[in-house]
Chains A and B, each alone.
Chain A
C-alpha cells in the first residue's frame, strides 16, 4: 500500500453511484461473454454523473497526459505510461484501445474504486482525433501530446482541415498549467500551437541520413497557413513531417526544444537515436535504444521522451524505461507457424503503410521476402479502399519477393500491385478467406524461412486468431 492508496477522498454519492453502475454493466458484459462492449459502461456512468471523468482525473496528484495524433497513439501512450511508472508514478491508462469519450470513461471507471479513488496518481489518455475537443473540455491535462495529423479513414472523420478547425478552439482554451508537447515537424500542428496561452514544448528531427527525396502522394499539409503558398522542406522524414519552410513568407518550422538525430534503424527489430533535450535544465545529448522499428517510431520515441521530461521523469529513468519497452501487441509481432517465421505489421492508412514498405525495402532497395497483404473494408478498417492508391507500392516493383493478396478487398489490392509495376509472375491473388489463403501463402515460403503479413485492422484480428487456434507461437516481442 502506498500513502496514496490511503488518501481520503471527499465522499461523492453521485460519483459512487455512477461507478457502481459502470462496474455492474462491465461485469454484465463480461458474464454475457460479449466482447467489444467497452463503451457501454461509460455510457451509463455518463448519464448518472457527467462529471465522472473530470472528478476522477482531478484526483490524480501528478496530473494527466493526453495523447492525440493519427498514427502511433497506442505505442506512444504505452511508452509514456511505462516511463511514468518507471518514474515512481502509478498511471491510470485507457489501454483497451477504446479512445472515444465513452471508452475513456469506461476505462477510468473500471480502474477506480467505489469511494472515488481513481486507482492511481497519474493519467494517460489516448484520445481519438474526433474525441479530443470533448476530452479537453472534461480533462485539463498537465501535458497534451500532439504527435501528427495524417489522412486516415476520411469517411469517418471528414477532412484534415475539419479536424484542425475543431481542435483549434479546444487548444486555445488551455491555460499555462498545460504544456502542449507538439511535433513541430508537422506544419498543421505547428500552426495550431502558435500564439496559444498554454506552454508549448516543440520537438522535431535534425537528421542527416533518413531523408525522403520528395513529398509523397499520401501527404496533405502542403499549403502555408499564413500566406497560402505551397510549403517547401529543407529535409523531409515521414510523409509531410520535416524541416519545413514557406518560400514566399517568413513562416518556417519553429525552434525546437527536443531534437531527434543520428537515427539508426536495426531492421524490423529496433532503433537507436540521440535525443538533444533542452526542456529542463539538463541540456545535452542522450543515446536511446528502443525495441521498435522504423523512422516513424523514432518520432514516437522522441515524443514520449519529451512528455517524460515535462512530467519531470529523470532522463536516466526515461532511457532505462525505453530500453525495456516492448512493441504494443497487435502493431508489429512475430510468430512461428509451420516452421516459418511470420512478421505481422498492422497497416491502417497511407502514411503508416508507406513507412512499413520503407522498412521492408530499406536493406536492398526492393522486396526480397514473401509478403501477404490482407485488406478488409469493415468499419474499423475504413469502408473506402481508395487510400490504397495513395500508398507508394511502386517501392515493391523491385526485388524478387513474391506478393500475395487476400481479404474482402484483396482483388483491389492485387489490381493496385499490378498498376504499381509488380511483375505478374510475382503476384498471387489468393481467395478472400484467410483460413485457406494463409496456408497457400505459407507454402510459398521455404521451410525455415520467413514472410511478412501486412493486414488492415480487422484482418489482423482475424489472422491472429486463426494463427493462435492453429498453434502458432509468438516468438519474439513476447509480452
Chain B
C-alpha cells in the first residue's frame, strides 16, 4: 500500500443504501473505497436514507437497485429538493454510478404495469417501463471510454433513450436497455446509469478509476492522474467473466 502522495479525501454518497442494495451492489462501494485507499486517499462513505438531505460536497454518488416496494418510497423521497440537489451536483462535475432501480429513477419516469408512473428526477434523458420478459444473464458491453465492460443483468424494466441521451455502450452479449436497440446504459457528464451488476466495479477497474478520478477532480479542481495499481487479480476476473459470458451465450 502506498503512502499518501497527494493528501486528499473523497466523499461517496450511497443513496438509500439500506433499501436499495440488492445483487451485491455493496461491491461497488467496496471497490471505490478500496481503490481510493490503496492510493492513500481516505474516502468517507455516507449513507443517505429517506428524509435525509444530500450534503453539498458529495464527490461520487452510488445508487443501486431495490425491491418494488422500496422503489416507490424512494421515488417519493427524490422528487423535490433532493432530486434538484443531485442534478446540481452532477452539473458541477460530481460522479454517479446508478444501477437498475436507481438508474430508472434518475430518468424522466418509470411506468409500472397497471399502476401510476413513478416520477424520476430527469438527470438522464431516458424513460423506463415495465416489460413482460425478465432479462437474466451475463452481459458484455463495448464502450469507447472504458473498453469492454462485463456484468450480469436481471431486470424486466425496459429503458428507452431520448434524443439527447448517449448510451454507455453497445451490448454484444445480453439484452441491455430494452432488448431492441442494442444499447446498454446511459452516460451524462460524469454520471452513468446501467443495468450491470455483478458487482460491476471490482471486475471493471477502468470504470471504477474513471469515477474516482472524476470525484477527485471535483474535490480538488485539478486534473491529477491516479497512481496505477497492480490489477492482475481484477484483470483475471474480468477476462474469466467475459469467457463465461461467451460460453453461456
Contact = CB atoms under 8 A, between A and B. Distances in A.
Contacts of B27: 386, 388-389, 416, 419
A150 to B, nearest CB: 13
Interface in B14-70: 18-19, 21-27, 30-31, 34, 49, 67-70
Nearest to A393: B30
Contact of A386 (B18, B23, B233, B244): B23
B137 interface: yes
B21 A217 contact: yes
A419 B248 CA distance: 27
A268 to B, nearest CB: 27
Nearest to B65: A159
Q: Of B24, B73, B202, B240, which is in contact with the most chain A CB atoms at under 10 Å from its CB?
A: B24
Contact of A415 (B18, B24, B73, B234): B234
Interface residues of B, number: 37
Given A155-B136, A377-B244, A415-B237, A390 B19 contact: no
Nearest to A427: B233
Given A386-B24, A429-B233, A412 B30 contact: no
A411 B237 contact: yes
A155 B136 CA distance: 7
B21 A228 contact: no
B199 interface: yes
A390 B24 contact: yes
B112 to A, nearest CB: 13
Given A159-B68, A161-B68, A228-B73, A389 B237 contact: no
B232 to A, nearest CB: 9
B244 A409 contact: yes
Interface in B161-205: 197-199, 202-203
Contact of B23 (A154, A377, A409): A154
Nearest to B134: A158
A217 B26 contact: yes
A69 B68 CA distance: 22
Contacts of A159: 22, 67-68
A58 interface: no
B160 interface: no
Interface string A373-404: 00001000001111111100000000000000
Contacts of A386: 23-24, 27, 152, 197-199
Contacts of B70: 223
A151 B23 CA distance: 9
Contacts of A151: 22
Nearest to A161: B67
Given A154-B22, A389-B27, A384 B152 contact: yes
Contact of A414 (B30, B233, B239): B233
B154 interface: yes
Contacts of A161: 67-69
A412 B240 contact: yes
B236 A429 contact: yes
Contact of A412 (B21, B23, B25, B237): B237
Contacts of A410: 240
Interface in A406-444: 408-412, 414-416, 418-421, 429
B212 interface: no
Contacts of A385: 152, 198
Contact of A155 (B154, B198, B202): B154
Contacts of B34: 419, 421
A389 B26 CA distance: 6
Contact of A388 (B24, B49, B136): B24
A200 to B, nearest CB: 24
A51 to B, nearest CB: 33
B24 A387 contact: yes
Given A155-B154, A384-B152, A411-B240, A223 B19 contact: yes
B241 interface: yes
Contact of A383 (B73, B137, B199): B137
B26 A390 contact: yes
Contacts of B234: 415, 418
A411 B236 contact: yes
A415 B154 contact: no
Nearest to A155: B136
A387 B239 CA distance: 19
Given A159-B67, A383-B137, A388-B24, A419 B244 contact: no
Given A384-B152, A388-B24, 14 more contacts: A159-B67, A161-B67, A161-B68, A384-B197, A385-B198, A386-B23, A389-B27, A389-B202, A411-B239, A412-B237, A415-B203, A415-B233, A419-B202, A420-B30
16 contacts: A151-B22, A154-B154, A159-B67, A161-B67, A161-B68, A161-B69, A230-B49, A383-B138, A383-B152, A384-B152, A384-B198, A386-B24, A387-B23, A389-B25, A389-B27, A418-B233
Interface of B: 18-19, 21-27, 30-31, 34, 49, 67-70, 73, 136-138, 152, 154, 197-199, 202-203, 233-234, 236-237, 239-241, 244, 248
